Amino acid sequence: MAQVAIRGVRKSFGTVDVIRGVDVDIMDGEFVVLVGPSGCGKSTLLRMIAGLETVSGGQIAIGNRVVNHLPPKDRDIAMVFQSYALYPHMKVADNMAFALKLKRADPKQVEERVRTAAEILGLTPYLDRYPRQLSGGQRQRVAMGRAIVRDPQVFLFDEPLSNLDAKLRVQMRTEIKELHQRLKTTTVFVTHDQVEAMTMADRIVVMQDGAVEQVGAPLDLYDRPQNLFVATFIGSPAMNLIHGTARRSASAVAVEAFGSLLPLPGPHAVDDGQQVVYGIRPEHLDLADDGFPATVAVVEPTGAETQVVMRFGDKEVVAVFHDRHAFTPGQTVHLRPRREQAHLFDRASGKRL
Ligand code: ADP
Ligand code: MG
Band of residue 133 on the pLDDT scale cut at 50, 70, 90: very high
Question: Does residue 41's CB lie within 6 angstroms of at least one atom of ligand 1?
Answer: yes
How many independent structural domains does the chain possess?
2
Q: What is the pTM of this model?
A: 0.93
pLDDT of residue 18: 97
**Residue 62, beta-bridge partner list:** 4, 65
Residues 226 and 304 in one domain: no
| Pair type for strands 4-13 and 57-62 | antiparallel
Tell the burial category of 277 from Cβ atoms under 10 Å away from its Cβ (0-12, 13-18, 19+): buried
pLDDT of residue 163: 82
Strands (E), the chain: 4-13, 16-26, 31-35, 57-62, 65-66, 77-80, 154-158, 186-191, 203-208, 211-216, 240-248, 253-257, 260-263, 275-280, 285-301, 306-312, 315-321, 332-337, 343-346
Asked if the structure places residue 192 within a domain, the reply is yes
Average pLDDT rounded to a whole number, residues 322-328: 92
Band of residue 104 on the pLDDT scale cut at 50, 70, 90: confident
With a cut of 80, say whether residue 223 has pLDDT above it.
yes
Asked if the structure places residue 84 within a domain, the reply is yes
CATH code (residue 57)? 3.40.50.300
Task: Give 193's Cβ-side CA count (13 Å radius).
Answer: 15
Asked if the structure places residue 351 within a domain, the reply is no
Q: Which residue range(s) make up the domain with 19?
A: 4-232
Residues 194 and 340 in one domain: no
With a cut of 80, say whether residue 62 has pLDDT above it.
yes
Expressed in angstroms and rounded, the spacing between residue 20 Cα and the centre of ligand 1 is 13
pLDDT per residue over 113-132, tens digit each?
999 999 888 899 999 999 99
Domain boundary among 190, 213, 232: 232
**How high does pLDDT run on average in the chain?**
94
Ligand nearest to the CA of 205: 1
Question: Does residue 118's CB lie within 6 angstroms of at least one atom of ligand 1?
Answer: no
Residue located nearest, by CA, to atom 6 of ligand 1: 41
